[in-house]
Amino acid sequence: MNDDFYFDSFWELARMRMLDEDSTVKVWTKRHGIKIEYGICRHYVPDFLINGEILEEIKGFEIESIVQTKFEALSRYCDEHQLKPRILRFKELNDLCLQYWNKNINTLREEYKKCQVSEFLCPVEQGISEV
């Protein structure tokens, strides 16, 4: 684990664990301080900065036009700061869960809620807390 972090959703927790296990990831953080403006008087904070070069946003079931607007703003920001943008949607995240744990994300989430998930995803022992 890179550091103690809070997560906003189970999807973020699962991604954090994947980043920890990925041998190509040297460092990642949620505490990057980047705010990206989109629309009028709106901004968001991307979920992860990975290896100091990839800004990643986890997207659930959000209105497609909002996701598209955020991705366009993310892409512009990344172009201006020599970073690579990435949005992981449900399908991509679910495919990664199948690859890492041979279970879909909904099964993992249900196991997590029932405290039946492996220690690998247990936040208490690993210094991660849900907000």
Per-residue pLDDT reduced to its tens digit, 38-62: 878 888 899 999 999 999 999 877 7
Domain of residue 71: give its range: 6-130
Question: Does the pLDDT at position 130 exceed 80?
Answer: no
Does residue 1 fall inside a structural domain? no
Query: pTM of the full predicted structure?
Result: 0.81
Question: Does the pLDDT at position 120 exceed 70?
Answer: no
pLDDT of residue 115: 72
Does residue 89 fall inside a structural domain? yes
Does residue 38 fall inside a structural domain? yes
Does residue 27 fall inside a structural domain? yes
Instruction: Supply φ then ψ for residue 33, to 5 degrees.
Output: 75, 15
Strands (E), the chain: 6-7, 28-29, 36-37, 43-44, 48-50, 54-58, 84-88, 129-130
Total count of domains within the chain: 1
Length of the chain: 131
Q: How confident is the model at residue 118 (pLDDT cuts 50, 70, 90)?
A: low
